[in-house]
Amino acid sequence: MEFQKVYFLGIGGIGMSALARYFMYGGKQVAGYDRTPSHLTDELSAEGAAIHFEDDVRLIPAGFLDPADTMVVYTPAVPQEHGELQYFAENGFRIEKRSQMLGHLAEGKYVMAVAGTHGKTTTSTLVAWLNRGLTGGGSAFLGGISKNFNGNLVLDGNGVQGLRPVAERGAAASESRPAGGRLAVEADEFDRSFLRLWPDVAVVTSADADHLDIYGTHEAVKEAFSQFVRQIRPGGYLIIKQGVDIVVDNPQITVYRYAYDEPCDFYARNVQLLEGGYYRYDIVTPGGVIEGCTLGIPGWVNIENSVAAVASVWCAAKADGTEPDAGKLREALASFSGVKRRFEFYVNTPKQVYMDDYAHHPRELAATLTSVRKMFPGRRVTALFQPHLYTRTRDLYAEFAEALSHADEVVLLPIYPAREEPIPGITSEIIAERVAVPCRIVGRETLADTVAAMDTDVVISFGAGNIDACCGALAEKLKAKS
């Protein structure tokens, strides 16, 4: 890229921060704006990025004010009326969305993209870990913080969080970016971002009604996924979950179906529950059976994710004219540590369990609660949920209530607005009044004390907002109860 400096609007987002790290690793100067400080922005600042938190052109570093050597990347979560975005647009800067930039960086690589309204973060992170286990390399842009890679960016099989400043790494840093090879990416359907990708292998985990503020209807969501499938390169592969209802009309690809334990092209069999919610199982593939697999993270839903990930690397190996090494696959599955805020345990004792999960769609909530029920049969489950976005709550409040009713008791937080303004009449109350089990609404600042005073056994917190800021306090109080 001819630009030596990259400015990010929304630099603290999980996908944006991975791009920022990529460019810093490649020797570029990076700066940016975000709405609020976070753990991610703290890390990026420590790694060399200049970040501020007010929409003020005067705060843009002087070195990033020349359109001849500065590129601007923004997330669609930044509104078009944002002052800094308007400044860059009016002054001739090259400006691209995050998805456009990701599309550029995917050129020349063997792209393994995981799409879906839920399940894509864990699955794409597992694809990256399996690539490393099987080939020793591979790169990835991830939608969560991988515990194995200790970050959301993987280059040549290694995580790069905690980069030394460019000056310390020297000129060789700009030569260390990978060219070609396997690239695992989370293909995000928000704002139709995934239509900037042209994958060789694509996984579709789900195509539920979501982001209706963008799409309008569920049919429009499904059509976008169909278009994504049409963009799989000739000779490529689609791995789609059994039962996902989208049009598949790309005649130049091979289509495989996968499932948890329903016989199809790829599925799990002989599933055995182990202590602590872990499982042992076999994975059936078109080329044979990989026996005696165990996954390093608990939950039956993650078995399904692992089947999809194995199918992805199996197809990549087939494209190379090889078969993946079964022993290396088993080893990589067993050593997978998961993703922060995806089935993340804080307390796991016979008397008290506390885990946190990013789930923010009704299908995700229902799948995780069902999985927890199977992991801890006969135990009392308390769900803590922070709804994310007014529009999503407006469109899916009945489905949220139905999903949360899989728990024995529910605690709701007020809606996390993110990029949205309030919508009259849309509050957490419209969910609470439809939940079929005892339900209360509390403020985030009193959540830990409220839960500590309740009769709890298995507790799980959900949400894509800032409920995770409560995890430490919740864990401390629930650990004391155990």
Query: What is the domain-level CATH number for residue 466?
Result: 3.90.190.20
- Rounded distance, CA 171 to CA 77, Å? 34
CA-wise closest residue to 9 among 87, 74, 95, 88: 74
Give yes or no for residue 83 having a pLDDT over 90: yes
Band of the pLDDT at 177, cuts 50, 70, 90? very low
Q: Is 291 exposed, middle or buried (0-12, 13-18, 19+ CB in 10 A)?
A: middle
Give the model confidence (pLDDT) of 15-71 as tens digits: 899 999 999 988 999 999 998 888 889 999 999 999 999 999 999 999 999 999 999
Order across the sheet with 267-273: list the strands: 267-273, 279-285, 288-294
Are both 313 and 226 inside the same structural domain?
yes
Q: Which residue has the higher pLDDT, 101 or 374?
A: 101
State the DSSP H helix or E strand holding residue 168, giving kind and residue range, or none if neither: helix 166-169
Residue 110 pLDDT: 95
- For β-strands 70-74 and 94-97, DSSP reports them as parallel
- Rounded distance, CA 89 to CA 87, Å? 5
Band of the pLDDT at 198, cuts 50, 70, 90? very high
Residue 172 pLDDT: 43
Q: Scanning the structure block, which residue is given the tokens 């994975």? A: 283
Give the model confidence (pLDDT) of 252-307 as tens digits: 999 999 999 999 999 999 999 887 778 999 999 999 999 999 999 887 888 999 99
Are both 322 and 251 inside the same structural domain?
yes
Give yes or no for residue 482 having a pLDDT over 80: no
Range of the domain at 23: 5-97
State the DSSP H helix or E strand holding residue 449, giving kind and residue range, or none if neither: helix 447-452
CA-wise closest residue to 314 among 130, 94, 101, 81: 130
For the chain, count helices (H), then strands (E): 15, 22
- Rounded distance, CA 264 to CA 461, Å? 34
Query: What is the domain-level CATH number for residue 55?
Result: 3.40.50.720
48 φ, ψ (degrees, to nearest 5): 120, 0
Are both 52 and 115 inside the same structural domain?
no
Measure the CA dihedral 3/153/260/402, to 10°: -80
3-state DSSP call for residue 480? Answer: helix
Of 311, 334, 357, the residue that ends a domain is 334
Question: Structurally, how many domains does the chain consist of?
Answer: 3
Are both 116 and 30 inside the same structural domain?
no
Query: What is the domain-level CATH number for residue 231?
Result: 3.40.1190.10
